[in-house]
Amino acid sequence: MKTLAITGGGQGIGRGLAFRFAQAGYAISIIDADEKAGREACAHIESLGAQALFLRGDVARERDVDNWLTQTVNQLGCPDVLVNNAGIMAKGPFLKLSPRDFDRVMGVNLRGTFLCAQTAARHMSKHKIRGAIINIASTRAFMSEPNTEAYSASKGGIVALTHAMAISLAPNRIRVNCISPGWIEVGDWQYSSRAKAPRHTKKDREQHPVGRVGVPDDIAEACLFLTEHAGFITGQNIIIDGGMTVKMIYAE
């Protein structure tokens, strides 16, 4: 049995990834700040016949990360795969963005990715696991809408951190890659009382060259590919956005 450790696995893309890896035969360990969502996700994973572990925690805190991965090793075995998925945004206009809010986004998104990757890699190395680390970035690392500075900066940092760690961890036989999702609909992948059925207009769909908005399984399948079938791929960023970032847009 293999083990997946995933941050932010209680809702959204992370929940979709956790469920898909469980279906593929992995034991799943989740850390998430939302206890209700995390426990609900684990209950569903167990209903699929897979083992599951949940800890409520903050990936920006070294103690929480250490505790989570130590318990993962003790209860499910050393992670074969780590997916750094947890992420937050700071709302509001750039001119009113406080340093504290900026630091918090960087703490969860970028520091959290560093802490989890470093800690997981130590366990993988100790247990001689040929591991895979996948960091979830965003197309916001390369293109922006207004007032996304903290989020965009953190995701750009994740892309750079990915290729740096891929080189540093190569002697440990740990591959590190990155996925940058575009618009992925997660309204129906929230905690049950907050879940909403997606509603997309024709314009929403047609702005994607593939003709639809993305879903969490689009990211999950790429993660499984990088994990199971991509032994010669490391240090790369894969953009999964239905073609949006390559489509030229003209003012009407």
pLDDT in tens, 150-161: 999 999 999 999
In a domain, 61, yes or no: yes
- Give me 9's structure tokens: 């696995």
* Mean local confidence (pLDDT), 97-111: 98
Whether 26 is a known active-site residue: answer: no
Closest CA to 150 of 86, 96, 112, 105: 105
- In a 3-state reduction of DSSP, which class is residue 117? helix
The residues pairing with 7 across neighbouring beta strands, listed in sequence order, are 31
In a domain, 251, yes or no: no
In a domain, 252, yes or no: no
pLDDT in tens, 17-72: 999 999 999 999 999 999 999 999 999 999 999 999 999 999 999 999 999 999 99
pLDDT in tens, 112-121: 999 999 999 9
- In a 3-state reduction of DSSP, which class is residue 1? coil
Assess whether pLDDT exceeds 80 at residue 149.
yes
- Give me 76's structure tokens: 């499910």
pLDDT in tens, 236-248: 999 999 999 998 8
In a domain, 219, yes or no: yes
User: What pLDDT is attached to residue 251?
Assistant: 67
What percent of the chain stands above pLDDT 90? 88
Please answer whether residues 136 and 12 qualify as being in contact, where contact means their C-beta atoms are separated by less than 8 angstroms.
no
- Give me 102's structure tokens: 């900026």
pLDDT in tens, 187-229: 878 888 897 888 889 888 988 999 999 999 999 999 999 999 9
The domain total for the chain is: 1
Assess whether pLDDT exceeds 70 at residue 252.
no
In a domain, 89, yes or no: yes
- In a 3-state reduction of DSSP, which class is residue 97? coil
Assess whether pLDDT exceeds 90 at residue 81.
yes
In a domain, 70, yes or no: yes
Give the CATH number for residue 35: 3.40.50.720
How far separated are the first and last CA of the chain, in Å rounded? 54
Range of the domain at 82: 2-246
Query: Annotated catalytic residue: which of 26, 151, 191, 250?
Result: 151
Burial of residue 61 (CB within 10 Å: 0-12, 13-18, 19+) is: middle
* Helix (H) and strand (E) counts in the chain: 8, 7
**CA gap 176, 178 in Å, rounded:** 7
- In a 3-state reduction of DSSP, which class is residue 241? coil
* Mean local confidence (pLDDT), 128-155: 96
pTM of the model: 0.96
Please answer whether residues 78 and 127 qualify as being in contact, where contact means their C-beta atoms are separated by less than 8 angstroms.
yes
In a domain, 185, yes or no: yes
Where does residue 20 fall: left (phi above 0), alpha (psi -120 to 50 degrees), or beta otherwise? alpha
